[in-house]
Structure 1
Amino acid sequence: MTSAAANAGHGWLSALLASASFARAYTVAVLGAVFASFAIERLAGQVTYIAIIAGLCIIGAGVLVVRRQEISFVRLVPTTLIMFVGWALISVFWSSDSAISFWSWVTTAALAFLAVVIGHVRDTLQTARALGDVLRVLLAASLAVEVLSGVLLDVPFRFLGVQGNLAQLGPVQGIFGTRNMLGFVAVLALITFLIEYRTQSVRPGLSIASVVLAGGLAALSDSPTVLVLAVGVGLAVGALAWVRHTRPEHRAALQLGLGAVVVIGIAVGYFARHPIIAWIGAGTDFSMRVNLWNVMVDLVRTKPVQGWGWFGAWSPGEQPFAFINFFLPDSSHATGLNAFFDVLLQLGWVGLILFVALAAIALVRSWLAASERRSVIYAWTPLILIALLIDSMFESFTLVGIGWLMLVLCAVRAGLSRSWRERIDARAGDEGLPHDGALRSEA
């Protein structure tokens, strides 16, 4: 191949990777692969899923290289994310199985990288639209599978974890493996679909049908966490609307007041947890979780600072997870059923502080941006983060797969919308990205 032909080939590839159409296709592919990870692994095997993620990472690296002139290196990755992922890598050296721990870290880092790429090639509206398109397809597929299994054939699809309970009005799992995961995804979908409706980015009929689909599957999942998520996100929507309609000179006082109310509400919720649990009918489920958390806390005392080493999702044959499941013989746990306790167990107090800092800084940044800026699209990031953090009190979804991807994506978007590093760019004379983050050239 001649030099001119090689340059022409590289030029064609660079143009493709830098195009807005490719950015949209790439975003849909990443979100689709991660949100459908359970179904992909059950249908095609774990190796297939790993190969898909590895391929997407390679393509994502190419996209960042081609767009390097448009991206500010200073604002590429949130500092708290680097510190958390770095501490997780260091913990590999004292885990019970360094090889398994390292590859678990690679998975965590790969999903974080994919989220960083999406955060820099799509703005908030484009990201929400891509997620909406993906979730419409996956939720529709979940409903179709449940109808086929529970109504037409009346046979459980065990290879997908579908029990076929649709005729009894649930609980249903869809293609997400468990009812809790389906309920979690349905709540994320509801937030996204309602933002689409408010921004008029899709047809009203499609928005309404999407909301009905997500709401129906959330109810049919019969997940005890869905009601808590719905109440928490609903209160956040009301508070954000109140702040947005308050005069700018009064917002600071209102924000402080709302912060105090949140702290008081958390305290009241803790002390009134037993009546609340009885009201939502999750007493047995919560009792099981409390027993699990008590054992985890006891184990944390043996390695309080550094933790037992990063695994993400539990590796059943490794310590301390084997001991936990042995000590609780009536159940076999794959996670700690609480992201904060899970981080504390695996990464110690250092890891927990970094994890809380990552989520809290992202939430504060995105909340302030949503309360000050005119477009309702800015509400998508803080509402997704609030859903993630509320769910983190009952599940460990935020540490792996779907939840981890969304947490990092929201942290990147929040950092681009409001960050101290913007001032560094300004002083250096680097124009970087537009204030909202990614490119404006919609496909």
Structure 2
Amino acid sequence: MKPDALAAARTLLGSPRVTQALTEAIVGVALVTHAVRALVGWPGTIAIIAALVVLASASLASQPERTEWRGVLPLSLLALFSLLTVSIIWSQYTWATVGGIAYALAFGFLGVYIALVRDLIQLVRAVGNALRVILTASFVLEILSGVILDTPFTWIGITGDLALGGPVQGLAGTRNALGFLGALAVLSFWIEFRTRSVSRALTAYSLTLAAATIVLARSPVSLLVLLAVLVTGLALVVIRRQQPLARRATQSALLVAAAVFALIAWVFRSALISVVDAAADVAVRTSVWGSVRALIDQQPVLGWGWVGPWPTEVYPFSSVRSSSGFQPDSALNAYGDIWLQLGLAGLIVLVAALGLAFVRAWLVASDRRSTVYVWPALTLVLLATTSMTESYLLFEGGLLLFVTSAFAAARNRSWRRRLD
């Protein structure tokens, strides 16, 4: 390539418009990878993700000023990705592990790219724009399936129950996955409103769309998750309005209150399950968790080896069945899933990475005046609570959000910023 053409290509790939468009494309594909697979299959999905990685690499290379040694991935996340990579040494299914490692590293790299080239408000805007398109398209398909044609779209997981009041699945494939996107949308659209990033009309449409998604998804998981995010958000509102000297005492009190609340929720878990009408979901999950625990006991320290989303034809994943005979593609619990794949070592590293990221995000949200700094902390709460009943944290869009949120928090609170 001629020098002039090379310079022009670098200028184009490093331009704000291309960076914005690429960021929104990455977020959109990551959040609805299920729909992408339904449309083009695994080969097409891998080709799309590989193309995004190549474009992101070229874009990052065109903006060398965006990368510097203090902005690298947090050490806790580096430890997590390192562990899943070296698990190929003891993996019980080597080739599946190779593919799983490449898949996880691709989404991890895309998350790092977004965190490097976009500031926090631009990241929230990208997530908001992607979710508006995803949720709008989901309702278009639901109306087409449940009202106009009155037939399920089984190829994408839509049952066509919109006319009956739900549950709806949209582009997410399941009601719980759609509920998760609805909760993320409420958070992102609210931040957009508070920072005056979009017009009032667009805010009204967006929040109505997100609320309709949560109501019609009828996901008991999303209701509990939203409650946790709401409580955390209210706590942050109180702390952000206090003087610095009063914050420490308030945060200590909140820590104790959170521990007490968690204990009460565990003691009265049966009542909570009844309130949100989740008995059927819990029965399915507990049967899966029982099978997963039996497999964990066989390889408790280092696990069976990383694979990411389960290849259901590979043992031991092929042996897991729910009480209804359904074969899941995950452990329906991120913490149990990583214990199965990476053993107790992986569980400890994941909890440490998640905990450190949340503490940093919480401190940043407490200190900074702009509301946008609340987004990483609440997104991590959303991921951590959802991970008790789903494995989103470890794969695809959930992993991308985890990396970007942890990176955003570390960029403002990392110890490496104190080094010259």
Taking structure 2 as the reference length, the TM-score comes to 0.97
SS of corresponding position for 2:298: coil
Is the alpha carbon distance of 1:150 and 1:331 closer, same or farther for their aligned partners in structure 2, counting shifts above 3 Å?
Answer: same
How many angstroms does 1:13 deviate by?
A: 1.5
1:74: which partner in 2?
Answer: 70
Q: What 5-or-longer segments of structure 2 have no aligned partner? A: none
1:295 paired residue among 291, 303, 324: 291
Instruction: Give the residue type in structure 1 aligned to 2:142.
Output: E
SS of corresponding position for 2:170: coil
Is the alpha carbon distance of 1:328 and 1:105 closer, same or farther for their aligned partners in structure 2, counting shifts above 3 Å?
Answer: farther
Q: 1:28–1:131: 8 Å Cα contact kept in structure 2?
A: yes
> Which sits farther off after the overlay, 221-230 or 60-69?
60-69
Q: How far apart in 1 are the matches of 2:314 and 2:209?
A: 40
Q: How far apart in 2 are the matches of 1:297 and 1:36?
A: 29
> Which sits farther off after the overlay, 86-95 or 134-143?
86-95
SS of corresponding position for 1:158: coil
- What is the aligned residue count? 420
Q: 2:60–2:66: 8 Å Cα contact kept in structure 1?
A: no
Q: How far apart in 1 are the matches of 2:119 and 2:293?
A: 40
Instruction: Give the residue type in structure 2 aligned to 1:102.
Output: V
Q: How far apart in 1 are the matches of 2:132 and 2:263?
A: 37
Percent of aligned pairs sharing the same letter: 36
1:236 paired residue among 223, 228, 232: 232
1:115: which partner in 2?
Answer: 111
Instruction: Give the residue type in structure 2 aligned to 1:118.
Output: I
1:338 paired residue among 322, 333, 338: 333
Instruction: Give the residue type in structure 1 aligned to 2:165.
Output: L
2:185 paired residue among 168, 184, 189: 189
Q: 1:179–1:221: 8 Å Cα contact kept in structure 2?
A: yes
Question: How do 1:46-85 residues align onto structure 2 when only pairs under 5 Å count?
Answer: 46-85=42-81
1:98: which partner in 2?
Answer: 94
Render the CA deviation track for 1:310-351: whole Å, top value 9, x for unaligned.
1111121222212223x8572311111110011111101110
2:194 paired residue among 193, 198, 201: 198
Q: 1:142–1:175: 8 Å Cα contact kept in structure 2?
A: yes
> Which sits farther off after the overlay, 66-75 or 187-196?
66-75
Question: How do 1:24-423 residues align onto structure 2 when only pairs under 5 Å count?
Answer: 24-325=20-321, 330-423=325-418
How many angstroms does 1:259 deviate by?
A: 1.3
SS of corresponding position for 1:159: coil
1:436: which partner in 2?
Answer: none
Render the CA deviation track for 1:403-422: whole Å, top value 9, x for unaligned.
11111111111111211111
How many angstroms does 1:217 deviate by?
A: 1.1
Instruction: Give the residue type in structure 1 aligned to 2:356.
Output: I
SS of corresponding position for 1:175: helix
Q: 2:183–2:214: 8 Å Cα contact kept in structure 1?
A: yes
How many angstroms does 1:66 deviate by?
A: 2.4
Q: 2:284–2:323: 8 Å Cα contact kept in structure 1?
A: no
Q: How far apart in 2 are the matches of 1:297 and 1:270?
A: 20
Q: 2:225–2:382: 8 Å Cα contact kept in structure 1?
A: yes
Render the CA deviation track for 1:234-275: whole Å, top value 9, x for unaligned.
101110001001111110111111111112211211121111
Q: How far apart in 2 are the matches of 1:167 and 1:70?
A: 49
Q: What 5-or-longer segments of structure 1 have no aligned partner? A: 428-443
Q: 1:146–1:162: 8 Å Cα contact kept in structure 2?
A: yes
Render the CA deviation track for 1:185-240: whole Å, top value 9, x for unaligned.
11001100011011110001110110011111111011110110111111011100
